[in-house]
Structure 1
Amino acid sequence: MPTHPMREVGRRIAATRQARRMKQADLARAAFVSLATIKAIERGARLPSDDTLDSIAAALNVDPSRLATGSTHTETRIHAALTAISAVIAGYDLPGDPPRQPLEELTQAVGVLVDWRLGAQYARTAKHAPDLLADTLAALHHTVGRDRLRAARLVAATARAADAVAYKCGQRDLSARLVDLIRWAAPRTGDPLVEATAAYVRTETFFAARAHAQGLQALEQAIDASPRPTGPDTAAARGALHMRAAVIAGRAGAPDAATTHLAEARRLGDAVREDVYDGTAFGPDSVRAHEVSVAVSLGRDHLRRALDVAAEWTPPSTLPAERQSGFWIELSRAQLWAGRPDDAFESLKTARLVAPQHTREHPWARETAATLRRLKRADAESLTRFAEWIGAV
């Protein structure tokens, strides 16, 4: 029997609280709700309102989707926020009212938004992105000199966070508009590394259109235009482009190009420490995760490479959640092809544990779950519940 929604939410909140070594009273204080409310929710006697869920999630430092994955608490609210984002960017090039926050406060707020994006916290990102987009655009139009360069950088970073939600939720038209906004803002930063980041993100439009050969061409042009790798930031910018080019070369059916770009990404990745550079995770671990992605992109004939990587390495918890989840989703696909359905299901469950909303919206995760359910080779009840959760049935 499926778990009742109230009991399921309460169980997740309690488990997350305990993992944080918090008492119920600690959570109540941090979330600004009564202790009686926390107790009632955790024992399944009541379902939290949207505002209460947001407060509890913030106190536990997780996305609300980690606690409740029903449409009331995630999909409906995210899509409402995406509508607001669309309205904000409709007149992105038109000066409006001055920003409601000073540039220093905006910088801090955008930094938090970027952290949420990297953590695949889409509900939080979507909730705050519309106002931050409006304010960063206003700052760009109402500042001059160095402040204007800073504001342009904030616009690009905020648009990228909003795009992560739009793209993962299948809103391809809105995603393409946000990518255009990033590309509009990038040259206004006066920083070629932001332009390299814009080229990295633009690849989404080629993935969405299945225009892989054109995407590879665009990335190779961006690599040629990127600054020489003379330090960690420039090495990471170019390395990330090579990493992305390797994946899209695999989708384009160009194994030689994929191998060449992956080798260059590996060389540059080994020269820097794993970190987030201008909003993009890059380093040895990111490149290892992409080795699996490239192998899966090249198809079944290359799945041995994906399995070999996974046999000797798994993503560390310090890697951004979205990247960890992507690794497990792509590994699951390779394991399914290799005739290892039980392992494939375990990988999908790991992906969900790390980044539930990212997993739920990922088309490969949904496709793999549907195939596993048809095969009926894993535990029937838990697999059916997973397939229903991800929308594969």
Structure 2
Amino acid sequence: MPPSIEEHTGTRIARYRKQRGLLQQGLALRANVSKSLLSKVECGQKPASPGFVAACARALSVSTSDLLGQPYADELRRDRMDELIQPIREGMENWDVRLDWETAPRAVPLIRADVQRALVQRRQAEYTEMARALPGLMDESVHTVHTTSGEEQRQAYTCLAGIFQCTFTLAWKLGCTDLATVALDRLAWTAPRTDEPGWSAMYAVLRAQTTLAYGRYDVGMRVVDGALRDLEGQAARRPAGIEAMRGMLHLRAAVIAGRAKDRDHADARLAEARALAEETGELPDYGVTWGPTNVGVHAVAIASELDEFGRAVELAEDVRIPPGWTRSRAGHHWMDLARAHTWAGHPAAALDCLQRARRVAPQQTRYHPTARETVLALKRRERARSGSLAQYAEWVGI
């Protein structure tokens, strides 16, 4: 019998646990979680935090995507996103071989302008148009790095770095972790060739993100701290961008500490990031959104990581999303806050936050496990049938 589309993460954990022949006590011991919490997560009484999911995935020898039910194949096919992913997979097969083209690729400034457009689409969670552009941009950039030299070649490598960053984000958001891993490897190869230390720092930010999915917080923290050391004393073409990347690394460390339930360390890293943000102000660079607002929304997310949902709601009262702010980050914030409101016992506020996430970043929200898990939790808790909640559930595919 196929799994129900209304399965929540706890249900999947229970199913894999039984397939492995484990009792709840056995899985709790392997995952280093309490049996009481595991029992409540499996029956939907408690949320399966990202850290909890990662711990159970390691203990069960499955991926976090398996426990989250990703990728959402039916929705991808319905939206025809699967048709856009396959050409990207094929394009990623070549990153180091010169192509036998009869015509020369476009001039590097033209390619770079399109890559910059893709990076903007990444920040604004406009994945369809970005996905359509990536395969062609990959081929052009790969060919260019093999047919140019000097500054022109360096800029072509910079184009490739941005392309691989976009590919990682798209694949990670859609639950295609295998493709995300390939994109990350390609970025590791490309970043040093850009001769811009910010791209190596960006690799570290994304690399640390993948460690969260597997509960390797020790590795993630070492990656972050190593990258911070590497930035010390580095000459850079974009000094302000280096400060943005330094701040992003501290934010990544704060998230890792939050997942590890180390509030003191998380608060210390947030303080480092906040101090930097007060110096730089809002400063988007290297395809990221950096500044005081991003530090604020991270503080809300980290409180939720620590299962301090009331505190997350309180912190959110001080967050003001400025007009025109990056939609991907705003969408994440509203989903994080929806989750906090749900488990703090505020269902109406939770649904309102989910609706905000949908309005600001529909593609990201539709495919994000946080949105699905929150909707399922609200459905389990609703006392009277809500037409708005039912419509939202249908929209995300439940």
- Equivalent residue for 1:244? 252
Render the CA deviation track for 1:323-362: whole Å, top value 9, x for unaligned: 0000000011111111111101110010000001101111
Identity %: 33
- Equivalent residue for 2:359? 353
| Aligned with 1:133 (options 129, 138, 145) | 138
In the alignment, is residue 322 of structure 1 matched against residue 341 of structure 2? no
Matches within 5 A, 1:107-146: 107-146=112-151
Find the aligned partners of 1:377 and 1:356 in 2 and give their Cα distance. Answer: 27
Determine if contact 1:78/1:122 at 8 Å carries over to the other structure: no
Determine if contact 2:197/2:242 at 8 Å carries over to the other structure: no
Matches within 5 A, 1:53-132: 76-97=79-100, 100-132=105-137
| Aligned with 1:172 (options 177, 181, 188) | 177
In the alignment, is residue 308 of structure 1 matched against residue 314 of structure 2? yes
In the alignment, is residue 270 of structure 1 matched against residue 278 of structure 2? yes
Determine if contact 1:74/1:123 at 8 Å carries over to the other structure: no
Superposition TM-score, scaled by structure 2 size = 0.76
In the alignment, is residue 199 of structure 1 matched against residue 204 of structure 2? yes
Secondary structure of residue in 1 paired with 2:284: strand
- Equivalent residue for 2:223? 218
Find the aligned partners of 2:393 and 2:211 in 1 and give their Cα distance. Answer: 28
Q: Which has the higher contact order (CA 8 A, sep 6+)?
A: 2
Q: For residue 195 of structure 1, report the CA deviation from its aligned partner.
A: 0.6
Determine if contact 2:293/2:319 at 8 Å carries over to the other structure: no
Secondary structure of residue in 2 paired with 1:159: helix
Find the aligned partners of 2:214 and 2:248 in 1 and give their Cα distance. Answer: 21
Find the aligned partners of 1:120 and 1:318 in 2 and give their Cα distance. Answer: 13
Find the aligned partners of 1:139 and 1:324 in 2 and give their Cα distance. Answer: 36
Range moving further from structure 2, 214-223 or 322-331:
214-223
Q: For residue 74 of structure 1, report the CA deviation from its aligned partner.
A: 7.6
Determine if contact 1:329/1:351 at 8 Å carries over to the other structure: yes
Closer/same/farther in 2, CA of residues 71 and 104 from structure 1, 3 Å limit: farther
Render the CA deviation track for 1:173-197: whole Å, top value 9, x for unaligned: 0011001111110000111111111
Closer/same/farther in 2, CA of residues 209 and 97 from structure 1, 3 Å limit: farther
Q: For residue 153 of structure 1, report the CA deviation from its aligned partner.
A: 0.7
Render the CA deviation track for 1:67-108: whole Å, top value 9, x for unaligned: xxx979985532222111111111212221355321111011
Superposition TM-score, scaled by structure 1 size = 0.77
Gaps of 5+ in 1: 1-69
Aligned length: 321
- Equivalent residue for 1:335? 341
Equivalent residue letter for 1:307: V
Determine if contact 2:337/2:350 at 8 Å carries over to the other structure: yes
Find the aligned partners of 1:360 and 1:212 in 2 and give their Cα distance. Answer: 28
- Equivalent residue for 2:381? 375
